[in-house]
Structure 1
Amino acid sequence: MERLLQHKIHVPLFGVVPGFHIRLFALLLVYLQFSSLQFLSLAYDVPDKFFINCGTATNVRIAQRNFVGDLNSSDSISTSISFKGQDNHLTDTNQSSGTSPLYQTARVFKSNSSYEFNIDADGTYFLRLHFYVFSSPSTPTDLSTALFDVWTSGFSLLLNFTAHNNSNSPIVKEFLLSITPGKFKVYFVPRGSSFAFINAMEVFLSPEDLTSVQAQHITPKGTENDDKSVLSKTLQTIHRINVGGPTLTLDNDTLWRNWVPDDGYIRNPVTAIDSPYLSSRPNYQGNVTEFTAPDLVYQTAKQMNINSTTQSNNSTITWSFKVRKSATHLVRVHFCDIVSTSVDVLSFDLYIYSNFHVKISSYEKVGLLAVPFCVQYIVDSDDSGAMNISIGPRADSDEKNAFLNGLEILEILEKSGSVPPVSVGKKKHVDHFVVVGSVLGGLVLIFILVAVFYMAFKCRKPKPVENLNWSPLPVYGGGSSHSRVTEGTTIGPVPPWNLALKLPLSEILYATNNFDTKLLIGKGGFGNVYRGTLRNGQKVAVKRSEPGSNQGFPEFQTEIMVLSKIRHRHLVSLIGYCDERSEMILVYEFMEKGTLKDHLYASDMPRLSWKQRLEICIGAARGLHYLHKGSTGGIIHRDVKSTNILLDRNHVAKVADFGLSKTGPLDETHVSTVIKGTFGYLDPEYIRSQQLTEKSDVYAFGVVLLEVLCARAAINAMLPGKQVNLAEWAMLCKKNGLFEEIVDPSLEGQVDPNSLRKFIETAEKCLQECGTDRPTMGDVLWDLEYALQLQQTAMPREPHEDSTVDFSAGFALPNVQRLPSISMSIERDVMPILMDDSSFIRASEVFSQMKIDDAR
């Protein structure tokens, strides 16, 4: 419904046309005007739901909103929502007078959980999530260590989110979503052994005309595409700027939004000055209302500093904003001409990046001064991580000036896959027969397991250890275990055969200066990671689980048992572990150069040469080959990826993260009841059959080879459908002779064609659909060494020959079909959790599994 809110229309009551009837007609017009305004303003009522105060039964009134305690069963709004999952609630007993009551309680989720809202009207809704880290003596849970995702209806709203910030202030994440009537759920998904929390939530219907239906689609190169629909998009607010004005808080905004000043975003402040303040209220007309932006946004502006000595006819005012690389954004630009002396004398250009510009004229848009209007565009990223917005005068304008009142940049979120299911807590009432049956079944199972272990112990014969660059780990005593690891999840002390690696807690406290936060170098699902130095001067990385938590124990145990019995130049070394006082701590050798992923994607790090990349791949292949054939009984890594290949100070590659590893003779079929690994690297045959073999590692390594060649993530959900999965996209490009389109441009001029052909051929063989058609890691190692030899012995070519890379020649491939992949990590005791493989988090000084990105 078209809406018209209060604006100034001056109707002459006396003196224009004499006569009583004219004056009466004028009074009638005024009456009808204000009556219609009052009637039309009813089209959008400020909502009263849903505003939720989480983890409490107390209602809180803040800025004309009544936040209802989610435990308040007597409130009608509270009873129309529900939450599912294993959770508890926390209260800040300090309750400092400077902290809003909204942030003195929180609901904590230990497993996949959700809030559910009953939506009764179709439309675009605001969703705001409030997070605030508080602590008190009675609150043992450290909210700053929470690491989790937030989902809704197939969209990953937040990934690897942590609420810790240096300002110690609340964090509010705002989204705009199209929601249909029915059940609307917001999911909270802890990462690994961590947890999730929330202090407050807002879910309320926005005005219909807040966002226009269509927006012109432009690219950084200035290309204009067809208009795209905006209403169906899911948006996250990234920047909301009050240009030329002060900070506007929720008390100043009709929809409780925050607007920040623009001064910190201007690239050259001398080019701009604040415009004179508009003392009267803006004249709202058409689709721009008091809800589009508050009055104070349109009453202030920045304009050209015409008197500046640096000003010229070609000068512009430019604002630069940080945005996510490879993302698409909705840009909404607010104007209200409060600087012109008269109508139709001022027009200027609006620039987005430097190649796209459009004429802005108040006269052409609204025809009057002091009348707000808004333009919006869908803008593709230029992958620089910054978006520049500029204004500048036009040559054909009578006034050489330009102005801007406000700006909003919202990221367009793409669908990310299926929503993780909720983990339902245990029922309080269980049928007695079920209980008795469960107890009896458990006793029988225990008896069988005891008998099996007894027979296995009696019949077991020691197996010789192959000596392939292997030696016992000489740390804190001798001896290493050759025992096998089972899939069990029993929580308890680490078996005594690993005592040779056990470190006293006092040693770890010394190494980390009592876990000094200044030494904190990473945070993952398992816990925090610290840089440390042992008493003997050895630098180490210390991975500490949340004290007292049993989550992650199977991976903790497996990591110890695997690394305690192997040692190889290309496998990361475990220095020791600690399980005192309910602690789970792992201590590794320190890796100065971080992960392979860092060196492939990070823009601030030197690009690896082709020779370095080959040597790194060869080193990782040697490590995996040793796992498969050279270690006792054979080991399947099960989580091979670029973040689990680490580099020392000399760029020597070492395979890391053995928490999901499977041990046992590899000539037998391994059946896993729960698929583990990271989608994008998962063997499609393993997904279908759940039969794990060493060829699953080979498939994952093939994906790593493509990452090395293309310098992009295995899964990038922000790319178009066919390009999301690197393996599928690379094979399709190869089939169509377009492989040069995806090879890392920084390699141009470095790669010998024969070396490249061998490398791609090796990757293709690793990615075969059927595991029996894939090579062994020994064969992969041989092929990569041959590719390196071809590179080192490349003959000089004439200028007309393919002296750099002929990416597409001679690469006809069969059409390799694969299961569709989404960016997920599958853990032991939880359902799929989305992994943001498209994002980049630097891990320059620590293992990949210890970082937030891709961490357990």
Structure 2
Amino acid sequence: MEKLLLPLLLFFSILLSPAAYTPPDHFFINCGSDTNAIVSGNPNRTFIGDSVSSGSLSFSKEGSYVTTNNQTSEVLYQTARIFKQQSSYEFDIDAGGTYLVRLHFFNSTNVSTAVFDVSAARFSLLKNFTILRSSTNDSNSPLIDEFLVSITQGKFSIHFTPLGSSFAFINAIEVFLAPENFIPDTAPTSPSNNHGGILSHALQTIYRINVGGAKVTPENDTLWRTWIPDDGFLYNPKMAKNSTPFSGSLKYQGNVTDFIAPYPVYRTAKEMNIDSSRLSNTFNVTWCFNVSKNSRHFVRVHFCNIVGKTDGNIIFKLYLNGIYPRKINPYDMAGTLDTPFFLDFVLDSDESGAMNISIGPSEDSPEQKTAFLNGVEIMEIMGESSVIKPDKSKKTVFLVVGPVVGGLLVCTLAVGLFIVLKKRKRTPVETSVWSPLSVQGGGSSHSKGIDRTINFSPVPNLNLALRIPFAEIQFATNNFDEKLLIGKGGFGNVYRGNLKNGLKVAVKRGQPGSGQGLPEFQTEIMILSKIRHRHLVSLIGYCDERFEMILVYEFMEKGTLRDHLYNRNLPCLPWKQRLQICIGAARGLHYLHKGSTGGIIHRDIKPTNILLDENLIAKVADFGLSKLAPMDQTYVSTGIKGTFGYLDPEYFKTQQLTEKSDVYSFGVVLLEVLCARPAISRDPQLPREQVNLAEWGLLCHQKGLLDTIIDPSIKSQISPNSLRKFAETAEKCLQEDGADRPSMGDVLWDLEYALQLQQTAVHREPHEDSTTDANSGLQMIHVQRLPSLSLQVEKDDMPILGDSTTDESLLSTSEVFSQLRINDAR
């Protein structure tokens, strides 16, 4: 009965909709075909064969051909247009606005090896696209990538660019005008800030979720969208339940129409699973989504109060990434029951690549202490493409005058370059901010004129002495055998392996051909090929053949610090060992900050990036986000990157990165080591004030209650004086103002002191520390205090190298290496 009722209700909801918008009938293109394909929907769509299309559409016929696919019964996917060279579809747009652009791909044996880029309106829509890697659904189902693009009246082109000797393909294209004001140009990023200029970017749809309901297919959506169920995204499914589906008519009003979300989305919801047997029902319901790391996203959340019994009896809270509490009062926002409304936000993802959306009860709710959610949409805000499209209209002219103009241009550029270089020799370069590590220089000894074929990714001027052939890496990992997989992360998989010389290694492999993580890949090679320190990870080699991005490190027997804090199958680290690990990590960080020309800021300090060898010696790892700065600068202005929970609040507010940002992150690590609690807890039973470890730890320390949150397994091992000094050090690191935090040199000194207090009966008055008595008689083992640089010098330390390929001492220490053996590696 419900199956019969739903189409009728959907029909009446469309009739009652106040929208003046009518879904257009163009452009819908059946690529590679000379016949039309009718696709059912509400209304139906007719996809016009591109071979018989009208004058409002054209495409590059040169270098293109058609392939057929007999593996599907769907007419729309039985043909595809193949491009052997950069080609395009061009549309005549008669009305400017926000357009929905959908690209349809269907996997078949004819197209499975294609690798290509897609761009449009100055935006890179798809990068290094392959149907095999990109498709996560059934091989018998099409892959549809959707974008929202602002298009002005005139010509609009979608470009397909094959990579290397490969080709591009497309089965079908949709380009049609969205309803007016479908996407706003401004949306809030926090309670007090807005992000403007949204419409100046392209948006790529990442998730469209029907919360509490079944899959909604294009046939039942007013804009032919697909909404998938939410169950697979729930953090704790026991905390939520499906609401009773609504069967009446929705009260669409204002800017909320069935084109914003269709009837099937608003008639279902998830709500809190209130259980009278629980001691507390003050939990949150959380959905977790994997998104692109360090990217900006447009997020739309949909609500319709089909849960409340009367108007105004429910008030609840919405949390975005756990830090944006927004009070939701359905009565204020919609007025009555059964009335849809939505909210838009702009959120930045961090290095973890995770986005959480939560709902929970509010103390202000007059009656029902519950919360509900009907739908979620997440779209990535895309940057501009650097691809330059050829102007084919000038091709003939260029063939005639090209040699002459080309010769003049070369001469002009040569003279200009000579003048610029000569001027730069006379005038010192000045910079207003610290710059990221450049991949264009940095001491590589090989020629800058290397022939970069299609088998290599664009990684210029890296250290050739460290390059390892892909075949050798395949041998070391038994062709990336799944049995040797020891970790997964946003960058890719980590495998255990053995090189031909018998050296045990860990191989971190980026997604082949994806291009994601390329800056981090380059930065890590540039840094690790130039530094050597006992407490910093060192690189064995890398591979950039065949569109690969692979880093090779020596295998670390004991894994990560995080493993030993939370994995119950591993022996518990005693307090003294934890102190020594913190000291080792502090030495590595201090060397980064002060022991290298210009200094290096790590920017992603966390227990996952502190590795332990067979003797539990700590090494700082993962330098993909690091920044290099000249000595005479104090900060670098940069986009926010790092891991949520460890981010310096001052850096987050000002986007000005300093060495003290690493100090703050290290302070969070110190508390984590002491308490064995994560930086951000996902336990829905915890009170709100206990979710953030830094805030909770400081509050407990200020109230004299820090001992109540110490890891019970080590609580009896810690001497009171050692605990006092350690806690004071963590508190100083976590000061909100970076100027009030100590340097890593002072942090190291205080941790050494805490270790001495743990080991010996050395007595000091409580007011004495590294800032008041730097010349005390306390002797540090293997450490010399240097007032001029505040630098700890160890016998294993080596300076930053100008050219690692020509330094004999570097080559002789090739056995001192480490790796990333982590489950959430980048």
TM-score, normalised to structure 1, is 0.51
Mapped partners of 1:316, 1:564: distance in 2: 48
Match of 2:447 in 1: 486
Are residue 290 (structure 1) and residue 264 (structure 2) matched?
A: no
TM-score, normalised to structure 2, is 0.53
Cα 1:91–1:42 change in 2 (3 A) is: same
Match of 1:318 in 2: 285
One-letter code of the match for 2:45?
R
One-letter code of the match for 2:72?
S
Are residue 48 (structure 1) and residue 25 (structure 2) matched?
A: yes
Per-residue CA deviation, residues 633-692 of structure 1 (Å, 9 max, x unaligned), is: xxxx9x9977999967344468999xxxxxxxxxxxxxxxxxxxx9x9477xxxxxxxxx
One-letter code of the match for 2:25?
D
Secondary structure of 1:389's counterpart equals: strand
One-letter code of the match for 2:177?
L
Cα 1:386–1:513 change in 2 (3 A) is: same
One-letter code of the match for 1:348?
I
Mapped partners of 1:109, 1:487: distance in 2: 30
Mapped partners of 1:295, 1:709: distance in 2: 38
Mapped partners of 1:402, 1:261: distance in 2: 21
Cα 1:591–1:161 change in 2 (3 A) is: farther
Cα 1:68–1:532 change in 2 (3 A) is: farther
Q: What is the Cα-based RMSD across aligned positions, in Å?
A: 7.4
Match of 2:357 in 1: 387
Q: 333, 340, 346: which is aligned to 1:373?
A: 340
Are residue 615 (structure 1) and residue 587 (structure 2) matched?
A: yes
Mapped partners of 1:740, 1:643: distance in 2: 11
**Is the CA contact 1:754–1:791 (under 8 Å) kept in the aligned structure 2?**
no
Match of 1:357 in 2: 327
Match of 2:225 in 1: 257
Per-residue CA deviation, residues 481-533 of structure 1 (Å, 9 max, x unaligned), is: x9952211336899xxx9999999876654333454666778999x9986533
- CA apart distance, 1:375: 3.9
1:656-695 equivalences in 2 (<5 Å): 681=627
Secondary structure of 2:386's counterpart equals: coil
- % same residue: 31
Mapped partners of 1:604, 1:381: distance in 2: 30
Per-residue CA deviation, residues 430-457 of structure 1 (Å, 9 max, x unaligned), is: 6477569989999xxxxxxxxxxxxxxx
Aligned length: 627
**Is the CA contact 1:563–1:574 (under 8 Å) kept in the aligned structure 2?**
no
Q: 180, 193, 202: which is aligned to 1:208?
A: 180
- CA apart distance, 1:357: 3.1
Cα 1:191–1:654 change in 2 (3 A) is: farther
Mapped partners of 1:424, 1:708: distance in 2: 38
Secondary structure of 2:587's counterpart equals: helix
**Is the CA contact 2:664–2:733 (under 8 Å) kept in the aligned structure 1?**
no
Per-residue CA deviation, residues 169-225 of structure 1 (Å, 9 max, x unaligned), is: 55545444555445666688999999988665543322226468987x585xxxx55
Query: Unpaired segments of 5 or more residues in structure 1?
Result: 1-7, 9-33, 443-481, 550-555, 629-636, 658-677, 684-694, 734-738, 765-782, 806-842
Secondary structure of 2:584's counterpart equals: helix
Are residue 121 (structure 1) and residue 95 (structure 2) matched?
A: yes
Q: 244, 250, 264: which is aligned to 1:275?
A: 244
**Is the CA contact 1:711–1:743 (under 8 Å) kept in the aligned structure 2?**
no
Cα 1:237–1:565 change in 2 (3 A) is: closer
Match of 2:71 in 1: 96
One-letter code of the match for 2:317?
Y
- CA apart distance, 1:46: 0.7
Q: 373, 388, 401: which is aligned to 1:422?
A: 388
Per-residue CA deviation, residues 824-850 of structure 1 (Å, 9 max, x unaligned), is: xxxxxxxxxxxxxxxxxxx934999xx
**Is the CA contact 1:189–1:420 (under 8 Å) kept in the aligned structure 2?**
no
Q: 58, 65, 74: which is aligned to 2:45?
A: 65
One-letter code of the match for 1:726?
L
Match of 1:665 in 2: none
Mapped partners of 1:566, 1:212: distance in 2: 48
Are residue 334 (structure 1) and residue 303 (structure 2) matched?
A: yes
Mapped partners of 1:305, 1:755: distance in 2: 40
**Is the CA contact 1:93–1:136 (under 8 Å) kept in the aligned structure 2?**
no
1:214-613 equivalences in 2 (<5 Å): 225=192, 237=205, 239-264=207-232, 267=236, 269=238, 272=241, 274-275=243-244, 277-278=246-247, 281-282=249-250, 284-301=252-269, 310=277, 318-322=285-289, 330-335=299-304, 337=306, 347-353=313-319, 356-361=326-331, 365=334, 372-376=339-343, 378=345, 385-390=355-360, 396-397=366-367, 406-410=374-378, 413=381, 416=383, 419-422=385-388, 424=390, 431=399, 485-490=446-451, 510-516=475-481, 531-534=496-499, 537-540=502-505, 572=538, 588-592=552-556, 611-613=583-585
- CA apart distance, 1:250: 0.9
Per-residue CA deviation, residues 23-79 of structure 1 (Å, 9 max, x unaligned), is: xxxxxxxxxxx9xx999978312123344566777765434334456x647433432
Mapped partners of 2:129, 2:765: distance in 1: 54
Secondary structure of 1:251's counterpart equals: helix
One-letter code of the match for 2:57?
S
- CA apart distance, 1:282: 3.8
Mapped partners of 2:497, 2:101: distance in 1: 42
Match of 2:820 in 1: 844
Mapped partners of 1:365, 1:218: distance in 2: 22
Cα 1:845–1:643 change in 2 (3 A) is: farther
Secondary structure of 2:220's counterpart equals: coil
Cα 1:711–1:200 change in 2 (3 A) is: farther
Are residue 136 (structure 1) and residue 109 (structure 2) matched?
A: yes
Secondary structure of 2:215's counterpart equals: coil
Mapped partners of 1:754, 1:403: distance in 2: 39
Are residue 76 (structure 1) and residue 37 (structure 2) matched?
A: no
One-letter code of the match for 2:820?
S
Secondary structure of 1:332's counterpart equals: strand
**Is the CA contact 2:286–2:356 (under 8 Å) kept in the aligned structure 1?**
no
One-letter code of the match for 2:449?
G
Match of 1:12 in 2: none
**Is the CA contact 1:755–1:788 (under 8 Å) kept in the aligned structure 2?**
no
Mapped partners of 1:231, 1:140: distance in 2: 35
Mapped partners of 2:195, 2:641: distance in 1: 33
Secondary structure of 2:330's counterpart equals: strand
Cα 1:534–1:385 change in 2 (3 A) is: same
**Is the CA contact 1:124–1:176 (under 8 Å) kept in the aligned structure 2?**
yes
Mapped partners of 1:208, 1:356: distance in 2: 27
One-letter code of the match for 1:487?
K
Mapped partners of 1:563, 1:327: distance in 2: 29
Mapped partners of 1:682, 1:619: distance in 2: 13
Mapped partners of 1:622, 1:231: distance in 2: 41
**Is the CA contact 1:116–1:184 (under 8 Å) kept in the aligned structure 2?**
yes
Mapped partners of 1:186, 1:607: distance in 2: 58
Cα 1:372–1:681 change in 2 (3 A) is: same
Mapped partners of 1:424, 1:218: distance in 2: 38
Cα 1:698–1:349 change in 2 (3 A) is: same
- CA apart distance, 1:407: 1.9
- CA apart distance, 1:352: 0.8
Per-residue CA deviation, residues 524-551 of structure 1 (Å, 9 max, x unaligned), is: 99x99865334664334669999999xx
**Is the CA contact 2:209–2:376 (under 8 Å) kept in the aligned structure 1?**
yes
